[in-house]
Chains A and B, each alone.
Chain A
């Protein structure tokens, strides 16, 4: 196989990792919302935890996107 073709296949494979981040972020906001609707008065206090969890989870998706980009444009 040509190296150029392998690069594109690798970039495509790297994007599968984003599915995991999607599940994580969806789970995060879903859980926050179900908790917040049960006890709305406690919700604002958990905002920083929500954003923290979002950033930590979303970073993993960004990492896989980054691998794809580096394979496409830099490597």
Chain B
């Protein structure tokens, strides 16, 4: 596995280098003792996402009408969307986690979507951000699971309805799958965003390289990667949404283990 601080170490002199778009820039130097807590472009984009969410929710819901207007409808649809997801995957008592799951979904969605615009930085394209989110979910499952079920939480690793002879093996596999959850949960989001942005930059780079070449044939050929870039942008918007959805869905499935250990 990559080290957690992996944040695109090789940064570039070449403007066509696809990695350099993930460079962290310090906007304001801040330090507490030894810790560098500088305000970076990544932090700025998270704040932008947060402010955009707050303004969107505040102005859409300012006039709370019984018959919703356009803005209010969108907020209600997003509410029902997440609430249904929780009901389906974690049961009705999972709704106590609604604020957490909704906040997580909207945060990841806005971070992904803001990153799709040129110039803007994608906060979720760094493994350290997604690992923090995934560890938060994982620790919440452990803490809430033990607080609610006590020792019964460990029935998660001792499933019912399995023959006693192979139960230890199944239990071991359950432990391994539980421990590897934050890894797969975070890498899935990060890898999709990271790979998508590199892909866009690569095709845009191909177009530039071909167009600036001397041969007229290659100049004409540059239209192909140019069109490809346009085709990829909607796909990446879809990925941005789907990955935020999947991140929230997996959160619900994991929280369902904390709510009902032993049968899944």
Interface residues of chain A, those whose CB is within 8 Å of chain B, are: 48, 51-52, 54-56, 58-59, 62-63, 65-66, 69-70, 73-74
Given contact pairs A63-B191, A66-B191, A74 touches B9 in the complex (Cβ within 8 A): yes
**Are the C-beta atoms of A73 and B194 separated by less than 8 Å?**
no
Min CB gap B11→A, angstroms: 10
**Contact B8–A66 (Cβ < 8 Å):** no
Q: How many residues of B contact A (CB 8 A)?
A: 23
Q: Find out whether the CB atom of B249 lies under 8 angstroms from the CB atom of A48.
A: yes
* A73 B18 Cβ-Cβ under 8 A: yes
CA–CA, A58 and B249, complex, Å: 16
Q: Which of A52, A54, A62 has the most CB of B within 10 A?
A: A62
Contact sample, A vs B, 20 pairs, CB 8 Å cutoff: A48-B89, A51-B242, A51-B249, A52-B246, A55-B188, A55-B243, A55-B246, A56-B188, A56-B246, A58-B192, A59-B187, A59-B191, A62-B192, A62-B195, A63-B187, A69-B195, A69-B198, A73-B10, A73-B17, A73-B198
Give every chain B residue within 8 A of A73 (Cβ-Cβ): 10, 17-19, 198
Within 8 A of A (CB), among B172-228: 184, 187-188, 191-192, 194-195, 198
Q: Which of B9, B88, B188, B195 contacts A65 (CB 8 A)?
A: B195
Chain A residue, CB-CB nearest to B245: A51
Q: Which of B19, B88, B191 contacts A48 (CB 8 A)?
A: B88
Q: Does residue B85 face the partner (Cβ distance < 8 Å to A)?
A: yes
Interface string of B150-191 (1 = CB under 8 A from A): 000000000000000000000000000000000010011001
Across the interface, which residues of A come within 8 angstroms of B9, CB to CB? 74
Q: How long is the Cα–Cα vector from A73 to B10 in the complex, in angstroms? A: 8
Closest chain A CB from B73 CB (angstroms): 20
Contacts of B89 in A (CB 8 A): 48
**B positions within 8 Å CB-CB of A:** 2, 8-10, 17-19, 85, 88-89, 184, 187-188, 191-192, 194-195, 198, 242-243, 245-246, 249
Closest 10 pairs between A and B when the two form their complex, measured CB to CB: A55-B246, A59-B188, A62-B191, A66-B191, A73-B19, A65-B195, A62-B195, A62-B192, A66-B195, A69-B198
Residues of B within 8 A of A48 (CB): 85, 88-89, 249
Q: Contacts A48-B85, A55-B242, A55-B246 hold; do A74 and B191 have CB atoms under 8 A apart?
A: no
Contacting B10 at CB < 8 Å: which of A55, A59, A66, A74? A74
- Report the separation of the CA atoms of residues A62 and B85 in the bound assembly, to the nearest whole angstrom: 25
Is A74 a contact partner of B246 (Cβ separation < 8 A)? no
With both chains docked as a complex, state the minimum distance between the C-beta of A69 and any C-beta of chain B, in angstroms: 6
Which of chain B's residues have a CB closer than 8 A to the CB of A56? 188, 246
- B192's partner among A52, A59, A69, A74 (CB-CB below 8 A) is A59
**Which A-chain residue is minimally distant from B202 (CB atoms)?**
A69
